[in-house]
Structure 1
Amino acid sequence: MAVKQNRKSHSRMNLKLLIAVSSVAIASHILPINALEIHPISRQFQLAKTPDERQPEAVQQGIEQIPVAEPPVTPQRTQSINSPLPVRVPAPETNPNLQPTATNSTPEIFPAASNPTPQPSQNQSVSPTPNTNSTRGRNSRTVAAANSRTPNYRDINFVDIAFGILDKRDFQAQGRAYHFYQFEGRENQLIQIRLLGSADKRRSNNLSLRPYMFLLDPNNNVILKRGGGETERDAFIFARLPVAGVYTIAVTSQNPGDTGRYSLAIRDDRASYILDETGELSQQNLVLKQNGTPYNVKEFQGKKNQLVSIRVDSLNEEFSPYIVLLDAQGQRIAANSDRNGKYSTLIDRARLPEDGTYYIVVTSSNPNQRGNYRLTLF
């Protein structure tokens, strides 16, 4: 009898021991996770990432491997070309319940439909002809005009090509002759403008011209300004018009005092944009570790064998863009940098190797340059 009781006691002890060992084993698996919540200094455990979660890390590695030893960019112009026309201040909305008082005076401003007389700056010599409208349109941005002549506006349509010859007798601003063209634009209308200068250098009639142009909104704010670079005589503008109204194209020379022949055409931009947005390279951006160049990344979904084109335009000619197209594994599909000191660059019809997520890296050819840009994918 005693032997049977000893066996039962022994069995109970073994069972208790087994339960205790099992509890310790279970607790050993639970403890590290609980310990992370209670004791921050405890050892950290990380769960393995899925393939989709690993892709951005691969893309980041691909970004850091972007070569920065690109061919040198032609030195850009040191002299900035400013708009020849003052910005119009929109008329404030009037409240019919408010009565004018003797102490409140409203300064005279340009109506939206009028063509203002540009004002000469104080550091420019002007002709002695009196300017009877010298008090109109004064604001912080005045025109450096070489004479008191008002600009002559010509209409331009989306069908024909306009031809002109810049002459020293034309309206002058900042030592440059100007021609002005106007057209009716729609809100969000996509347009492209081409300005082609002449290479005619005959001694008898030198009409050679490296052209430059501004696109101004209905209030004369600069949307884009563009020249043909340091060597080319062909300038392009691709733009999305912000509002409906009358837009102005100001045509001039890239160098002060130059005159010559040009052709100008404006067309609807019929590209089917997959992506169309503005961005900025600034001090707040991420930077490449190799040389500190700021960059932005934009992703999109692509299909196998799809042909895509990517264009980046520096809006205010602040930097020469450099764009790289990467796949989800960080492999470089295509790249293009502005090697001629211009302010636009294009990846033309890159073929995507497979279905998936792709990444557009926008950076600058020069680590010290940055600014606003427009990115389009089509």
Structure 2
Amino acid sequence: SPRGGSGNTGIGFAISIDRVQPFLVAVREGRAPRTAQQAPQLGGGPNAQRITLNGTALQGELSARSGVLSSDSSFFNAYTFEGRAGQEVTVEMISQDVNAYLILLRPDGSDLAQDNDSAGDRNARLTAVLPETGLYTILANTFEPGETGRYSLSATIGVATAPAPNASPRPTQPSARVLLQVEGSLGPNSLIWQEDNSPYQEYSLNGQAGQTVTITMESIEFDTYLILLDANGRVVGQNDDESTSSTNSQLTVTLPSTGTYRIIANAYDRNGRGRYVLTVR
């Protein structure tokens, strides 16, 4: 799920965590419809529309008739598709009218991936390996509240290669220069993420605009969770599980600007404790 502490905190480039978190918390606590059971009435918005994987791109419009995220009043339209565990799905939202933002929800309503600008300009593209079989929900959203306009939305299936269960960490590729590698641990002395009381450690990364980095967090002792924040505290990327058969985390992002980024080495829940290896390439 998206994490949020102080300030603004997706995969992608920048969403205030306060926007999505209240709805996802409501889902987990049973106070909102679950997408696995019905086409969702997300936050009182219209029913979700079905989207066909590898089908023709859908044309949509964000307007006063769209759903509204209660925390920031940004508009969204919801779409659902049936996915199978292990499928690699790419969702793309293209618009000349709005600054596109995509959110992909798991069958239980929790966050799987988010993106702002990965398709270039103000267009959004996210790729995720589906962790389970079920009904997934796409939120076609905007970066800023109040944005309205037309867009196209597509969802395609790729081929994902998952590592074998309990596989050892992948070796560093010779061509991938290691920018940072550290062994750490989460325990009683770790920082605590305010939204869910999960422990975390924080690291700094100096990056250049347009630079692509891959961050991995690997542990055999707990379910890892990675978040990358920009200098303003906005999420550039986040990931829970790198594949359906691994609880290690990995995210690859293109940095939107030059500056100092914050890597949050987190646990998926408050019970996560143990050693890990964090690598940036």
Query: TM-score normalized by structure 2?
Result: 0.53
Is residue 165 from structure 1 mapped to residue 103 from structure 2 by the alignment?
Answer: no
Is residue 267 from structure 1 mapped to residue 183 from structure 2 by the alignment?
Answer: no
Cα distance in 2, alignment partners of residues 270 and 253 from structure 1: 28
Asked if the contact 1:214/1:251 (under 8 Å) is kept, the reply is yes
Is residue 248 from structure 1 mapped to residue 143 from structure 2 by the alignment?
Answer: no
The residue identity in structure 2 corresponding to 1:245 is G
Q: 1:184 to 1:164 in 2, by over 3 A?
A: same
Q: 1:167 to 1:274 in 2, by over 3 A?
A: same
Instruction: Measure how far apart 1:261 and its partner are.
Output: 1.3
Cα distance in 1, alignment partners of residues 45 and 15 from structure 2: 29
1:366 to 260, 267, 272: 260
Larger RCO, structures 1/2 (Cα 8 Å, 6+ apart): 2
Cα distance in 2, alignment partners of residues 311 and 163 from structure 1: 33
Q: Any gaps of 5 or more consecutive residues in structure 1? A: 1-75, 92-106, 119-142, 144-148, 199-207, 286-291, 296-308, 322-335, 343-364
Structure (1/2) with the larger strand percentage: 2
Is residue 214 from structure 1 mapped to residue 125 from structure 2 by the alignment?
Answer: no
Cα distance in 2, alignment partners of residues 370 and 192 from structure 1: 25
The residue identity in structure 2 corresponding to 1:155 is R
**1:153-302 correspondence runs (5 A):** 153-158=48-53, 159-173=55-69, 174-198=72-96, 208-228=97-117, 232-270=121-159, 284=184, 293=204
* Structure 2 SS opposite 1:188: coil
Q: 1:268 to 1:110 in 2, by over 3 A?
A: closer
Which residue of structure 2 lines up, in the alignment, with residue 114 of structure 1? 38
Instruction: Measure how far apart 1:213 and its partner are.
Output: 1.1
Cα distance in 1, alignment partners of residues 117 and 163 from structure 2: 27
Cα distance in 1, alignment partners of residues 143 and 32 from structure 2: 34
Structure number with larger C-alpha Rg: 1
Aligned-CA RMSD value? 4.6
Query: TM-score normalized by structure 1?
Result: 0.41
Structure (1/2) with the larger helix percentage: 1
Instruction: Measure how far apart 1:108 and its partner are.
Output: 10
Q: Any gaps of 5 or more consecutive residues in structure 2? A: 1-12, 171-180, 186-202, 207-211, 217-224, 231-235, 238-251, 267-278
Cα distance in 1, alignment partners of residues 226 and 114 from structure 2: 7
* Structure 2 SS opposite 1:160: coil
Asked if the contact 2:67/2:76 (under 8 Å) is kept, the reply is yes
Cα distance in 2, alignment partners of residues 370 and 282 from structure 1: 13
What is the number of residues matched between the two proteins? 191
Asked if the contact 2:28/2:110 (under 8 Å) is kept, the reply is no
Q: 1:160 to 1:311 in 2, by over 3 A?
A: farther
The residue identity in structure 1 corresponding to 2:254 is D
Q: 1:238 to 1:315 in 2, by over 3 A?
A: farther
Instruction: Measure how far apart 1:112 and its partner are.
Output: 3.7
Instruction: Measure how far apart 1:157 and its partner are.
Output: 0.7
Which residue of structure 2 lines up, in the alignment, with residue 124 of structure 1? none
Asked if the contact 1:282/1:371 (under 8 Å) is kept, the reply is no
